[in-house]
Amino acid sequence: MLIAPVSAAHFKTAARFADQYALGLRAGDALHLAIAVDQGATLCTLDRRLAEAGQALGLKVELL
């Protein structure tokens, strides 16, 4: 597990992700994805839609 600090750049990236209507992301989910992308982390989630958005953004995703 990784606990990463949140930066202004993460919020800017999250805003870009949230603006991509096809991803269907809410602000909080977009922020989680922005941090995961920045850290090169694998996203582990129970949320199928979040997993699909993560995969669309090129993230490694593990749907639990």
- Picking from 34, 9, 6, the residue whose alpha carbon sits closest to that of residue 20 is 34
Residues above pLDDT 70, as percent of the chain: 100
Q: Would you state the pLDDT for residue 52?
A: 97
Return per-residue pLDDT of the chain as tens, 64 residues.
778 899 999 999 999 999 999 999 999 999 999 999 999 999 999 999 999 999 999 999 999 9
The domain locations on the chain are 8-63
Which residues face 42 on adjacent strands? 60
Residue-level pLDDT at 3: 86
pLDDT of residue 2: 73
